[in-house]
């Protein structure tokens, strides 16, 4: 009998750059349970000290899936690497021996053990990295496939073109925070791939870890079953993609990476990608990159593609309901813990629990969760490295009124910019 698992298969450990000091497996495993995650990736397994940490903290449960020694959380061996083509890749491996084999194949081709190199930069092409992964009996796919700096679609027009002769080995792609199923399937080649939604979190707290995840159906928690789920489309084993609305992603719109002024792609080209406000660099957004490559009808999806659920972390909803600035304040975190204790985990409270039961914990939060479930949320889109912002409305009437009030703020272009001069065209 098959069972459905909530899985977040991408984040980073202690030895990656810009990561919380709390990003250790005991903390990750505990917080994953509070979130409602069943299965995580170890991530960063090519870094020597992190590999040692994983060996000390995890015990093999069965067939390439591990459990933390103290907490009831499953882990699969995984990592993210960067190739010389400036593409980031997600890699999953069957066991620690395979991780050692893969690590050895990278020796001399990148500095694996320098601080901040949890995600190593390799002097290898995408094809060569894929060859090393397959030789170690693992699977590989592009990470955050559309982001403007280190992704397959930032530098190539197709996944197959990036991986060369190894393109046939690619079964999945990770969407990243700035894209969803709606956008990704506008490129017909992507109808050949499963989509992963994952947090890419640098913090273990549940408003970061698990902010994107998949519901995946497995006969048992094993590496073989996970490989089949991620790579064999006909199984339709991924039952749901859950993630942020792509407008919340920090690279969704084309925007200046200094002052975050938003531009249409046409405006950015006329300005030679220099911001008219501060002269910073304008970075092409995920939305515009996908529209450049789009060759499939909008709303067209392959039969195996599951629904995509736009989610907002419960702590952010509580923060909005209480109208406080700090998400890690005692008031927000204390109330978040009340909901988790009452309903078992965050995912249950956010998606499944009856609104009237949520109201018994806090009526204001219940009202906001009800609004979220009805889709009464506007998004001021992000771009240039600045995250977008959800605007949660308490009723359909407020939703309609706020749409008029927010106006151009809801678009991927800045309001009140003024008329362009003839010299700009």
Percentage of the chain modeled with pLDDT above 70: 97
DSSP 301-360: --TT--EEEE---HHHHHHHHHT-S-TTSHHHHHHHHHHHHHHSSHHIIIIIS-HHHHHH
| Cα 245–Cα 12–Cα 346 angle in degrees, nearest 5 | 50
Tell me, what's the pLDDT at 420? Answer: 38
Three-state SS across 88-107? EEEEEECCHHHHHHHHHHHC
Give the DSSP letter of residue 130: H
- Per-residue pLDDT band for 417 (boundaries 50, 70, 90) equals very low
Q: Does residue 402 register a pLDDT over 70?
A: yes
- Per-residue pLDDT band for 31 (boundaries 50, 70, 90) equals very high
- Per-residue pLDDT band for 116 (boundaries 50, 70, 90) equals confident
Cite the residue boundaries of each domain of the chain with CATH code 3.20.20.140: 3-248
Give the DSSP letter of residue 20: -
Question: How many CB atoms within 10 Å of residue 412?
Answer: 20
Q: Which fold has domain 3-248?
A: TIM Barrel (3.20.20)
- Per-residue pLDDT band for 414 (boundaries 50, 70, 90) equals low
Contact 47, 15 (CB under 8 A): yes
The C-alpha atoms of residue 261 and residue 58 are separated, in whole angstroms, by: 46
Tell me the pTM: 0.93
Pairing of strands 3-8, 213-218: antiparallel
* Burial of 81 from C-beta contacts in 10 A (0-12 / 13-18 / 19+): buried
């Amino acid at each position: 009998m098959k069972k459905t698992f909530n899985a977040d298969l991408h984040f980073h450990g202690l030895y990656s750059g810009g990561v919380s000091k709390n990003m250790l497996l005991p903390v990750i495993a505990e917080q994953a349970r509070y979130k409602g995650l069943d299965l995580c990736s170890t991530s960063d397994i090519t870094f020597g000290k992190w590999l040692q940490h994983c060996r000390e903290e995890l015990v093999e449960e069965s067939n390439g899936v591990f459990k933390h020694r103290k907490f009831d959380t499953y882990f699969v061996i995984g990592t993210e690497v960067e190739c010389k083509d400036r593409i980031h890749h997600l890699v999953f491996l069957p066991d620690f021996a395979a991780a050692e084999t893969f690590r050895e194949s990278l020796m001399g081709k990148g500095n694996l053990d320098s601080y901040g190199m949890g995600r190593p930069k390799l002097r290898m092409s995408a094809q060569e990295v894929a060859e090393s992964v397959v030789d170690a009996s693992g699977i590989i796919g592009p990470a955050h496939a559309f982001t403007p700096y280190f992704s397959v679609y930032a530098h190539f027009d197709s996944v197959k073109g990036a991986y060369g002769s190894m393109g046939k080995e690619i079964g999945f792609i990770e969407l990243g925070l700035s894209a969803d199923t709606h956008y990704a399937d506008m490129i017909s080649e992507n109808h050949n791939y499963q989509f992963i939604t994952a947090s890419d979190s640098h913090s273990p707290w549940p408003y970061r870890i698990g902010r994107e995840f998949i519901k995946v159906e497995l006969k048992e928690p094993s590496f073989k079953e996970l490989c089949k789920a991620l790579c064999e489309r006909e199984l339709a084993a991924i039952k749901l993609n859950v993630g942020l609305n792509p407008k919340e992603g920090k690279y969704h719109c084309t925007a200046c990476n200094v002052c975050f002024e938003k531009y249409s792609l046409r405006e950015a080209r006329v300005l030679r990608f220099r911001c008219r406000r501060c002269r910073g660099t304008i970075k092409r957004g995920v939305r515009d990159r996908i529209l450049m490559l789009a060759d499939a009808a909008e709303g067209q999806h392959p039969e195996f593609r599951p629904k995509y659920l736009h989610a907002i972390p419960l702590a952010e909803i509580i923060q909005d309901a209480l109208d406080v600035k700090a998400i890690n304040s005692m008031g927000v975190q204390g109330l978040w813990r009340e909901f988790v204790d009452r309903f078992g985990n965050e995912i249950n409270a956010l998606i499944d629990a009856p609104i009237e039961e949520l109201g018994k914990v806090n009526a204001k939060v219940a009202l906001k969760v009800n609004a979220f479930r009805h889709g009464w949320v506007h998004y001021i889109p992000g771009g240039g490295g600045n995250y977008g912002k959800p605007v949660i409305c308490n009723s359909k009437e407020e939703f309609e009124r706020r749409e008029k009030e927010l106006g151009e703020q809801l678009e991927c272009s800045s309001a009140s910019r003024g008329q362009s001069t003839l010299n700009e065209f």
